[in-house]
Chains A and B, each alone.
Chain A
Amino acid sequence: MIPPGYFFILSVVLFVLGIIAFFFKRDLITQFMAIEIMLNAANLAFLALARSSNFVDAQVIVFFIITVAAAEAAIGLAIVLLIFRKKKTIKTETLNSMKG
C-alpha cells in the first residue's frame, strides 16, 4: 500500500503547480483550471492527512469543499462569459481599463 504521506506530498506539489499556473498563464480559463487544481489539492491534503490518523471528519469536509467548488465554478464561468461577450477574447492582457 502507498503510505498516506506520499499523497500529502502529491497534494502539496499539485497545489504549488496550481499557484504557478495561476500566476504565469495569460488565459482566464487556464487560470480557472489552476484554481480548481488548487482546491482539489487541498481536498487531497485533507484526505491524506486524515487517512494517516483515521479522522473520519475529513470525508465530510471534502464533500463540503466539492460542493462549494461547484458553486464557485458556476459563478466564475458566468463572469468569464461576461468578459468574453464584452471583449471577444479571454486573454488577461486585455483586462487593462484600470491602472494606477
Chain B
Amino acid sequence: MDTSAYLSGLKYLVPEIYLLAVAAVSMFVHLFVKKRGARRAGYVVLAGLIAGVAVLFLSPLSPGEIYSGSLSVDSFALYFKAIFLLSGILTLVLAFRFFGVEKFEAGEMYYLIPLILIGMTAAVSSVDLITAYVAFELFAIPSYVLAGIFKKEQRSAEAGIKYFFLGTLSSGIMLLGMALVFGLTGETNFAAIGKALAGPNDHIALIGMILFFVGLFFKAALAPFHMWAPDVYEGAPTPLVVFLSTAPKAAVFAMLIRLVLTVFPKFEVQWTYIFQIIALITMFWGNIAALGQTNLKRMMAYSSIAHAGYLAIGLAAWGQLANTAILFYLVMYLFMNAAAFGLILLVRKSAGFGEEVADLGGLARSSPLAAGCLLVVLLALTGIPPTAGFMGKYFIFAAAVEKGLYWLAAAGALNSVISLFYYFRIGRAIYMEEPRPGIRFEPSVPVLAVLVAAAAVLLIFGIFPGLLTSIASAATLIK
C-alpha cells in the first residue's frame, strides 16, 4: 500500500481525528486558562462532543475494509459511535454538577473522555486482531484512571485499583486467546481467520475462542466475571459510572458481534451454548444480588449487570432480529443508566451526596418533575409498557422464542419480575416515604435535563419503537 492510499484512507478516520483534536484543545485550555481552566476544559469537550455528532454523520463510510483489512467503517460502527458520543455527552452534563458540588475539579477527566471515545470508535470498526487489541486497550487504560480520579474519596482509589487489576487480567487472558487463534491460522484479519479456521475441528481454536471471550466478558461485567463491577461502580464518581457502565459494554458487545460473525462462525453451536449459560447466570446473579442492597449505587450496579444478561440473550439467539434487538436495547440501556445514576445527584447530604435508597424519601413532594421522570425510568428498567424498556426486552425475548429458546425467554421474564422488587423499593421511597432528616433535594438544571431527556426518549421509543428499530436493523451486520 503506497502513501497516497494511506492518505486517502484518512477521510474515513475523520471522527477519530476530530476527537483527538477536541481532547488536545481541551488539554491546552486546562493548562493555560488561569481562571477556572478545568471547568472550561470541560465545556470545550462538551461542545466538541455535541458538534462531534454532526461530524460523525457527515464523515463517509468506507466501501469495505480499509488499511489492508484492519478497519471497516460501516453503518454498524457508525451506530455504535453515535452511542458512545451520546454516552459521553450525558456523562459530561452530569459531571459538571457532581464536580461543582464536590469542589474537586479534575480537568484531566474531561479530556480523558474523548480519548477513551477514540479507542471505542476504533474498536467497533476494527476487523483485525492487532487493531482490535490496541483499540481495546486504548479505551481500557484511560478508563482505569477515570474510576480512580476522585482523589478525595478513598473508595474511588479502591475502585481504580480493582478496575485496573481485573481489567488487565482480562486483557491478559484475551491476549492468550488471540495468540492461540493467530498461531493456528497465521492471519490477523478477522475474515481471513474465519476462513482459515473453517477446516477440520480443532480444540485449540475452541480454547482460544473461549479465552478471547472470557477477556471480553470481564469487560462487559457478565457473570461470573463481574466481581469487579459493583465495587467499581460504587467507588467511582457517580457521573463517570454512567460512562463506565454503558460505553465499554456497548463496545464489547459490538466486538463480540463482529467476532462471532466473522472469526468464529464455525463454532456457532459452542458459542450459542456459552452465551445461553452466561446470559442465564448473569441475569439471575445481578437481580438476586440487587435485592439485598441498600446503597443505591450498588443496587444500580447489580441492575446494570442484570441488563447485560438480557443483552447476552440477544447473542445467544443469534440472528438478524436478535442483533437489531441488541442495538435497540443498548441505546435504551444508556438512557436508563444515565437517569438511574443521575438520580443520585439530586440528593444532598451534609457531606456529599445521599447514596442510600432511603435517602430518596419525600422526593415526589419536593420535586414532582424529577419524581415523574424517575417513575418512567423505573418502569423502563423493570420492562413495563409503554416504555422503551419493555420494547427492548420484548424484541430480545421474541428473538429467543424465534430460535426455540423458550426457557431462556421465560428466565428473562422471570428476572423482570424479580427486578420489580428492588425497583419498586426505589419507587416507594420516592413516592411514599417521609423525607429523612439532614437530606435536601437540589434538582439542578443539568441533572433535571438528563432525567427529562431520558424519560422522553424512553417514552417516545416505547410508543414508537419503529423509529429506532428501522435504523438499528439497517445497521446490523447480518442483512
Indicate if the CB atoms of B158 and A80 lie closer than 8 Å. Answer: no
Indicate if the CB atoms of B172 and A38 lie closer than 8 Å. Answer: yes
Interchain CB contact (< 8 A) of B182 among A28, A41, A52, A61:
A61
Chain A contacts for B184, CB-based, 8 A: 49
A10 within 8 A of B: no
Indicate if the CB atoms of B293 and A100 lie closer than 8 Å. Answer: yes
Count A/B pairs, Cβ under 8 Å: 129
B151 within 8 A of A: yes
Indicate if the CB atoms of B161 and A55 lie closer than 8 Å. Answer: no
| Measured CA separation A19–B170 after assembly (Å) | 11
- As a 0/1 sequence over residues 31 to 50 of chain A, the CB contacts with chain B under 8 angstroms (1 = contact) are 11001001101100110111
Chain A contacts for B234, CB-based, 8 A: 98
Indicate if the CB atoms of A76 and B168 lie closer than 8 Å. Answer: yes
Chain A contacts for B188, CB-based, 8 A: 57, 61
Chain B contacts for A98, CB-based, 8 A: 155, 158-159, 230-231, 234-235, 298
Chain B contacts for A49, CB-based, 8 A: 179-180, 182-184
A95 within 8 A of B: yes
Closest Cβ of chain A to B223, distance in Å, is 15
Indicate if the CB atoms of B158 and A57 lie closer than 8 Å. Answer: no
| Measured CA separation A52–B419 after assembly (Å) | 52
Indicate if the CB atoms of A100 and B230 lie closer than 8 Å. Answer: yes
Question: Looking across the interface, which residue of chain A has its beta carbon closest to that of B185?
Answer: A55
A-side interface residues toward B, CB under 8 Å?
Answer: 8, 11, 15, 18-19, 22, 28, 31-32, 35, 38-39, 41-42, 45-46, 48-50, 52-53, 55, 57-58, 60-61, 64-65, 68, 71-72, 75-76, 78-80, 82-83, 86-87, 95, 97-98, 100
3 pairs of A and B residues whose beta carbons are closest in the complex: A49-B183, A38-B172, A42-B175
A72-B141, A76-B164 known; 19 new pairs, CB 8 Å cut-off, are A11-B179, A41-B176, A42-B178, A53-B186, A55-B183, A58-B182, A61-B133, A68-B133, A68-B137, A71-B137, A72-B171, A75-B144, A75-B164, A76-B168, A78-B145, A83-B157, A97-B154, A98-B158, A100-B230
